[in-house]
Structure 1
Amino acid sequence: MAGFAEATTVEDGEAVLDPQWTVGGRPNGGYLLALLARAAVTAAHPHPLSASAVYLSPPEPGPASVAVETLREGRSVSQARVRLTQKDKTCVEALFTLGDLAAAGEPRFTAAEPPAVAAHDTLGRTPVEPPGAGVRIDMLEMVDQRIDLAGPGDLRGWLSFDDGTPFDAFSLLYAVDAFPPASFTLGGSGWTPTLELTAYVRGLPAPGPLRVRQYARMVTDSQLDQVCEIWDATGRPVAQATQLAVYRRPKA
């Protein structure tokens, strides 16, 4: 089993999509975004600050190609476009703003406090085959995910790597897409493929489990609009994302 850093390695424009980081046999969208971010960063700008990705076709585990186009190189930030292809088909295309999070300093103002979440030890770990989900989530063998069902369309909980690896700027891009869809509490079932995901990485997290809140803003007969917000173990906001996904209504 490859750790997250190894599983998101890109060398000379080539990557191997790891079967361990999948949902229903398909690579998780946040995992793919983190992999593309690793290809995009530079020595001068070592961290993704923002990412916006469209998911065009779900790739399979195995070899894939990654092409990086630098759009602008600046003093404090750069921008790049990254495309993942497999079998001559474009699967994911993303735009990144790159910078140095270590130079950003501490927050001077934040609008949202960390949400109330049940204590880590009082919540059970999400199994690889959650009851009623109808899908095997292999990546849950690699992460400790504990969910607090706060209310309709509102999931809260904790996330950490099973091997104790601390989160970094890249794995935060995975974290914003790691929880079940918020429609889980509204009767949605099965795989909920991402159409578009926009994420901000707002700080380098302190060691310890991440506090996660994912909630739906709107659900229609075919689409889900949801937000994910993440705080580190000290209560500092470190990432956020907005996602548009396909919503599948439960069968009558």
Structure 2
Amino acid sequence: MNDTPFLDTLAVRPLGDGTFVADLHQDWAVGDRPHGGYLLALLSRAAVGDTSLDPLSVSAQYLRSPKVGPVLLRTERLKAGRTVTVVRAVLEQAGQVCVDATLTLGEIPDEPPTWSDLPDMPVNPPPDAVDLGSSEAGGPNGLARACDMRLDPRGAGFLRGSTSEPLRLRMWARPHQGQPDLLFGLIAGDLTMPVTFNLGRFGWSPTVQLTALLRARPANGWFRLVVESKAVHGPWFDEDTLVIDSTGRLVCQARQLALSAK
């Protein structure tokens, strides 16, 4: 467990003209590769800047993987309207573009949804949920330094060496310090291990493209994550994630195209 508050890992320092510098934090990396959702949260913080706007959608192309350390963030306002503002945000390191994102900014609605159809899942992780920072899961590693993650063993066939389970996982997550917010919701949309673990594919699975929609400001408590894939074709697979807060509100929907080792 780390002692760095979540928002401190997303600190950006303005240089003027929509340019920022930041340091990619080790706690949000697997090895020396920063987590994809964390990169989106960092870009979102730069895109919002000193406005009162919220990120409503983020669509990103992952061109190359940056390493832990300093980066440059460039933002450009493409549209400024009464309801919607559109910003392009680019993350660069060593003179190369690593992530190129387009963000739609606006105001997250506070009223409850008129209609929703979400999967049923316990508000809190059950006693047999696997703590991904525990010795049972191989010891503290990766993102378990940055947040508390509990995996539902039901459906996680890879834990038992099975490769016959559907590509569907369920997990609970929250920051080690403080309560989840919109930016943590964006991270949660890309937080689980790849669902292709259930096929026995344990290699690195880089995200190629990811689009996330932020739908509601979260309540305190655990996030509930439901992650599934519709198809795996060769090395390519899709992964859809629903992030639901403790009151049953949909916080984030994320869909990505990724690569896995065969």
Return the letter of the residue paired with 1:205: P
* Correspondences of 1:149-160 after superposition (within 5 Å): 149-150=154-155, 151-160=165-174
1:247 aligns with 2:251: no
Q: 1:130 to 1:186 in 2, by over 3 A?
A: farther
Task: Output the CA distance in 2 between the equivalents of 1:232 and 1:137.
Answer: 25
Cα offset, 1:113, TM superposition: 3.7
Deviation string for 1:173-212 (max 9, x for gaps)?
1111111111111211121111011000100111000011
> Which ranges in structure 2 are unaligned for 5 or more consecutive residues?
15-19, 156-164
1:46 aligns with 2:50: no
Equivalent of 2:225 in 184, 208, 212? 212
**Aligned position for 1:65:** 72
How far has the Cα of 1:219 moved from its partner? 1.0
How high is the TM-score relative to the length of structure 1? 0.90
- Aligned partners of 2:226 and 2:79: how far apart in 1? 34
The 8 Å contact of residues 30 and 178 in structure 1, kept in 2 or not, is answered as yes
1:142 and 2:146 matched: yes
Inter-partner Cα distance in structure 1 for 2:252 and 2:56: 9
Partner of 1:109: 115
Count of aligned pairs between the two proteins: 245
Instruction: Confirm or deny: 8 A CA contact 2:55 2:214 kept in the other structure.
Output: yes
Which residue in 2 is equivalent to 1:8?
A: 10
Cα distance change of structure 1 residues 58 and 129 upon mapping to structure 2, 3 Å threshold: farther
CA RMSD of aligned residues (A): 2.1
Match of 2:42 among 35, 43, 52: 35
Q: Identify the match of residue 161 of structure 1 among 148, 170, 175.
A: 175
Give, in whole Å, the separation in 1 of the partners of 2:29 and 2:50.
Answer: 30
Identity %: 36
TM-score (ref. length: structure 2): 0.87
Structure 1 position 110, deviation (Å)? 1.0
Alpha-carbon deviation of 1:44? 4.6
Cα distance change on mapping 1:119 and 1:14 into 2, 3 Å = closer
Q: Given that residues 24 and 191 in structure 1 are in contact (C-alpha distance below 8 angstroms), is that contact kept between their aligned partners in structure 2? A: no
Deviations 1:96-137 (A, max 9, x none): 001121x452200113343468843331201378868xxx84
Give secondary structure in 2 for the equivalent of 1:127.
coil
Structure 1, unpaired ranges of 5+: none
The 3-state SS of whatever aligns with 2:113 is coil
